[in-house]
Amino acid sequence: MTARGFRLLLFSGAAIMMAGLVVVAILDPKMAGGGWLIGFVFWAQILLGSLSLVMIHRLTAGRWGEIIAPVTEPACVALPLIVVLAVPIFIAAPTLYPWSEHAPSVRADVLSAYLNDPAFIVRSIVALVGWSLLAVFLPRVSGARGQLLAALGLLFHAVAISFVSIDWYLTLDAPFTSSSFGASVAISSLVAAIAWAAIWMPASEDDPAIGDVGALMLTTVLGLTYVDFMAVLVIWYGDLPRESAWFAERDHFPWSALSVIAFMLVSVIPTLALIQSGFRNVLRPVRVIGVTILCGTAIYDAYLIAPVFGPAALATSLLAVFGIGFVLVGIGSFFATGEAVAARETIDGR
């Protein structure tokens, strides 16, 4: 199949998935919005994680960044699309978030100063536009200026993802909070991006950099496991009512099953596999672990978000995950194959 035919297939699949979401939105706007939010945050993690990897590699160098560049760089090119993908969330915010309707569980001063529709949209747009500008300008700046931009970009990313992740995830269950949640999402985005890159990186079987990618994947998985475990331990030890209620809501089927599956796919299986050099340094096992991690990441996002909307949101999230994914992969393949460059040169030549 040609690259053009592959993209046509992807965009056709995306159209079918989006049509399904439109039908759901007509019947139940809240359910469709919940599914879209899950799909949005899943792909946002991959794109933002790819941008983080590009910035980190700009500062540290190394063969690992070169081997995954054919995957991470097209992902950065597609990053500005998340501004468009966030629009349905802004529109559906009054339906998705309880604070939008002045929920009594949230203090009035918090509602007026922070948790309100205009502030939510402004915070999200600042973060999304900032990430998009970094994705656009970073490849165009080299040398010391490029390193400075990468350093400043990582600082901006750390701040932006800290408040945006809480906005998108945790305020669904306001007033539940977690001071480590921003770090968890930041590391999770790195894990998802490395897994995505491991699946698609054009590497030969004997490339020694495969081991570097595998080791980086293991490191980020262990980091994510540690941060999340410590958060659960602190919440359990503190035994605070609002935090306990969040877990109690997810302590039954299907959410309890999702938590176990996500833990196995993102933490247990990758750790047991990647800790062995025979897996970590071989291309095919690294790709398999990448698929495992991505599946677990999507399930974990559903575990965090879907309980607010009910089990039916799991079906709509599948429509959103595949619909958004087909669009992003189709656009990313256009740049990965160099056709965008050729098209631009043709236009300039005219």
The domains of the chain are located at 3-349
More confident residue, 147 or 108: 147
Query: In CATH, what number does 3-349 get?
Result: 1.20.1630.10
Q: What is the pLDDT of residues 93-120, one digit of tens each?
A: 888 988 877 655 666 656 666 788 888 9
Cβ–Cβ under 8 Å, residues 320 and 20? no
In which band, very low, low, confident or very high, does the pLDDT at 52 lie, cut at 50, 70 and 90?
very high
pLDDT in tens, 66-75: 999 999 998 9
- pLDDT above 70 coverage of the chain, percent: 91
Q: What is the pLDDT of residues 283-342, one digit of tens each?
A: 999 999 999 999 999 999 999 999 999 999 999 999 999 999 999 888 877 765 544 333
Residue 185 has pLDDT above 90, yes or no: yes
Q: pLDDT tens digits for 204-217?
A: 888 889 999 999 99
- From first CA to last CA, the distance across the chain in angstroms is 30
Lowest mean pLDDT among 95-99, 166-170, 260-264, 343-347: 343-347
